[in-house]
Structure 1
Amino acid sequence: MARYADKVVIVTGGSKGIGRGIVTAFVENGAKVVFCARGSAAGEALEAELNPKGPGCCKFLSCDMNKEDNIQRLISFTVEQFGHIDCLVNNAGWHPPHKPTDVTGAQEFRDLLNLNLISYFLASKFALPYLRQRQGNIINVSSLVGSIGQKDAVPYVATKGAIISMTKAMAVDESRYRVRVNCLSPGNVMTPLWEELASHTADAAAAITDGENCQLLGRMGTEAECGAAAMFLAADASFCTGIDLLLSGGAELNYGFKNQTSGSK
């Protein structure tokens, strides 16, 4: 059964990884999806892959989420194509290579804030007039590390923690319009970005194995599982607003070897 038939959904950063899993889940459940990314090749390929399968459909739009006019164009394009908006999934973002705070530049931090956080704010701002008309919902994709921290990743963790807080504040404001605002925080999910980060280590295969061993379930999550979680928040979680849904395989639970002082002087 198509759980989101004829609903109109926007997914930012939808051509790869977690975004691709979310776009796929909505199309498979009957939605009309507009998704964007900076590069065109992967987005056009996903559009060509999903549309013949249905039962929903998708349209790809090249968009730079660092640019406010591009974000406005994304919202306008969706309304022109489909007449309304039922759900906005803010997902576009990046995890830079790990780097200690004292060698991280202020401009690097500002640039990441612009992409990972301010783009979420702007997309929500421009979509809200349409979401209010439909009593729709917003899903902000954050990260487990926004709640538990991560080594040598202060700017990234800061942006993801801010997304969680912004979600709660926006949920309060938008409740008067019956617009729900929720957060989805994946832990380790096997995506092209995870593979890229692993490639910056001395042993990429070992890094992936270590990543798998961080979860109680002994594996990483999948793109499809991210899509299923987003579908739950959009279609089923009708009495949930302001929540942060951890998609983590239990990574935040139990004790583990966490001593960062070993070998330090």
Structure 2
Amino acid sequence: MTSSGTEQSLRYLNRVVLITGGTKGIGEATVKLFVKNGANVVYCSKEEKAVDLEMALKESGPGTGTYIPCDVTKEDEIKRLIEVTVKTHGRIDCLINNAGWHPPDQTIDDTSAQEFHDLLNLNLIGYFLTAKYALPHLRKTQGNIINISSLVGIIGQKYAIPYVATKGAITAMTKAMAVDESQYNVRVNSISPGNIWTPLWEELSSHSANPEDMVLGGKDAQLLGRMGTADECAKAALYLAADGTFCTGIDLLLTGGAELNYGNKNQQKIIHH
């Protein structure tokens, strides 16, 4: 293939993409895919060293990957993240809000107000502030924002009230932001994954009484009989950024059909002692 043909096949060539929570799971896969498609990617995480990932990105190309430490619960660090991105690359074309956490099972009785506040700050306010400070630059490029939400924001989840609340809010905030930013031709969309096999899923299952049963249940929750992959999430994000140019305010369900059909959901069988 000629070099010009190669360039034409790169779906996000020379665009500048900022990805939070970019060192593992869905974030890492998304960083790699955008770099593979010619983007200059700036990615962050709270405290992980990303030397191995940076080296792999330099070798793979044809885009670039730059790691910046950032705790998205701290407004000043978010401001610095945006400033360094613009100073390095001169622009921002796409923001992918991905940094977040799913706590282990917790009932409302065992959840403190502070724990709820902390998760809101990480999962929701972090998205809001990163968007807030990126938007002046995205308006100049008529860029787009992709917020990683979750299916459970729509259907609920057992023993996860704070988490479900944050994800439901992300999906709703995406729609409100899409309305406001449309005047600048900035598109704002969300992706709601179902069960995706990531290090976080593996960690959560390891805390259960029977990890193998939990993983099998995770697979069986989808019509397709398996969990999704981080790569599939990355492909959905690339579609919304590069190809879904008439999509704004949508919530893309990436679920393998988990929300469809009836299932055994009777909670009355649970015996409370």
Match of 2:3 in 1: none
Q: Deviations over 1:127-150 (max 9, x none)?
A: 000000000000000001011000
Matched, 1:123 2:130: yes
Q: What do residues 77-96 of structure 1 show as CA deviations (whole Å, max 9, x unaligned)?
A: 10010000000000000000
Aligned residue type for 1:229: A
Amino acid at match of 1:182: N
| Displacement of 1:194 | 0.2
Structure 1, unmatched stretches of 5+, are none
Is 1:31 paired with 2:39? yes
Equivalent residue in structure 1 for 2:13, among 1, 5, 14: 5
Counterpart of 2:63 (choices 44, 52, 56) is: 56
CA shift for structure 1 position 35? 0.2
The answer for the alignment partner of 1:94 in structure 2 is: 101
Pick aligned residue for 2:174 from 153, 167, 180: 167
Between the aligned partners of 1:215 and 1:6, the Cα distance in structure 2 is 37
Which residue number corresponds to residue 256 of structure 1? 263
Paired with 2:131 and 2:196, the residues of 1 have a C-alpha distance of: 25
Question: Matches of residues 56-75 of structure 1 in structure 2 within 5 Å?
Answer: 56-75=63-82
Instruction: State the SS of the aligned residue for 2:27.
Output: helix
- Note the residue ranges of structure 2 that are not aligned, 5 or more in a row: 1-8
Secondary structure, in 3 states, of the residue corresponding to 2:225? Answer: coil
Residue by residue over 1:236-260, the C-alpha shift from the partner in whole angstroms, topping out at 9 and shown as x without a partner, is: 0000100000110000001111011
d(CA) in 1 for partners of 2:267, 2:29: 34
Percent of aligned positions with the same letter in both sequences? 62
Equivalent residue in structure 2 for 1:150, among 132, 157, 160: 157
Separation in 2 of the partners of 1:175 and 1:29? 26
TM-superposed CA distance for 1:98, in Å, is 0.9
Match of 1:186 in 2: 193
CA RMSD of aligned residues (A): 0.8
Mapped to 1, the partners of 2:32 and 2:151 lie a distance apart of: 22
2:245 and 2:84 map into 1 onto residues whose CA distance is 27
Deviation at residue 17 of structure 1 after TM alignment:
0.4
Moved over 2 A (4+): none
CA distance in 2, matches of 1:205, 1:80: 47
Partner in structure 1 of residue 51 of structure 2? 44
The one-letter code sitting in structure 1 at the alignment partner of 2:43 is F
Correspondent of 1:22 among 30, 44, 61: 30
Q: Matched residue of 1:80: which SS?
A: helix
Question: Distance in 2 between the 1:178 and 1:98 partners?
Answer: 40
SS in 2 for 1:51: helix
Correspondence 1:218 to 2:225: yes
